[in-house]
Amino acid sequence: MEVIIRQAMPQDFERCIELQKQAGLLTAKGEVFEPEWLAEYLHDGLFLAAEAEGRVCGYILGEKIRLQGAYVWLLVVDSNIRHAGIGTRLLTAFEDLCRSNGITWVIAYSALTESTLGFYRKNGFSFGDDFREILKHL
């Protein structure tokens, strides 16, 4: 299966939301990231999609933060094709894009499952303490 890593586009949003639901990656309020929210991340270019056979099969979404850093909010791969290297390819492309934009470090928002933590460990991430997301709307 040939997989292409490319910039995400608005027409990818519906599939991105499907993948987010499939993975159970919800906000602190138990919601998915709506299309309007996803659209905000197109401008920085740190929103990449993996496409296979004309269909989005994964994506990574992040943003530049202070002190030459970037934050990975979501990294999702279709559960039917995980462990095929697509997540690693998305992360590598994201890191390359970061480097080309002067970003020198990346922090990720991650589920605390063994497979997810193992993925990040395998890809060179170090680990801090566990924490829980806490949200308050103002």
Q: What is the CATH number of the domain that holds 25?
A: 3.40.630.30
User: Is residue 128 domain-resident?
Assistant: no
Q: Which residue has the higher pLDDT, 4 or 107?
A: 4
User: Is residue 130 domain-resident?
Assistant: no
Q: How many domains does the chain have?
A: 1
Token readout for 51 is 């496409």
User: Is residue 8 domain-resident?
Assistant: yes
Give the full edge-to-edge strand order of the sheet including 55-65. Answer: 3-7, 47-52, 55-65, 69-77, 105-108
Token readout for 125 is 């991430």
pTM of the full predicted structure?
0.81
Q: Which residue has the higher pLDDT, 130 or 70?
A: 70
User: Is residue 134 domain-resident?
Assistant: no
| Position 122, amino acid | K
82-111 confidence digits (pLDDT tens): 888 898 899 999 999 899 989 988 877 776
The whole-number pLDDT of residue 15 equals: 94
User: Is residue 136 domain-resident?
Assistant: no
**What is the rounded distance in angstroms from the CA atom of residue 69 to the CA atom of residue 71?**
7
User: Is residue 32 domain-resident?
Assistant: yes
User: Is residue 127 domain-resident?
Assistant: no
User: Is residue 60 domain-resident?
Assistant: yes
- Note down the domain range covering 109: 3-122
| pLDDT score of 80 more than 80 | yes
| HSE (side-chain half, CA atoms, 13 Å) at 91 | 23
